Amino acid sequence: MVPMSDPRDALDNVMESFVLTYRYEAARRRFIFITDYPFTSPGSIREFSAFVFQDADFERLQGDYEPYQKNYDAYQIVGPGGMVVQNVDQKVLASGRQWVELWFGPNFGGVAITYGALEGYTRGSTAKEVAPSTWEYRDSRTNERFEFRFPFPSLAGPRD
C-alpha cells in the first residue's frame, strides 16, 4: 500500500473504474471504498485504489432496481463484470467537513458520505494467467500474492 499525496483529488480519477468494495463500519464511523485505478505505477499492469473516510456519516442513495437495494452499507464484487463509478461529486460544507457523492448508475444508485478526514492508498500489481480465465495477482513492489476482489485485505478482506 502506497499512501496517496492528495486522496480527495484522486477521487476524481475513479470515474468509470470498477467498484470492488464499499463498506460502512458504523461503530467506527468509517467508510472504505476500493476500486481499480486508471493510473499505474512503475512495474504495474493494473492499479487499485483504496479510500478510507474517517469520522464518516453514510447515506445510501437507492437506485430503481429492487434486487440492488439489499446492498445497503456494503457491496462486494462477485465474479466477472460489476458496477463502475459513473459520477463523483465533492464539496466542502460550511461546517468545514467534506461531502462526496459516489454514483454508480440509475439501477444501483450510489452513496453519499460526509466525513472529517480522508486517507487514500494505491497498490500496483502484476498478473499471470495460471489456468484458463484464472489469474494470479501479485503486488508489483513486494511480489505478495493477493486475491483480485480483495487488493487491500488489511482494510477490507473477506467477511466471515
The confidence score (pLDDT) of residue 160 equals 46
User: Mapping DSSP to helix (H, G, I), strand (E, B) and coil, where does residue 150 land?
Assistant: coil
How far is Cα 33 from Cα 51, in angstroms, rounded to an integer?
5
Place of cell 494470479: 136
Tell me the average confidence (pLDDT) per consecutive run of 10 residues in the chain, 160 residues long: 95 95 96 95 94 97 87 84 92 95 95 98 95 93 94 80
H or E element that contains 30: strand 30-37
pTM over 0.95: no
Q: Please say whether the dihedral angle defined by the alpha carbons of residues 119, 153, 69 and 58, taken in this order, is positive or negative.
A: negative
Instruction: Give residue limits of the domains in the chain.
Output: 2-125
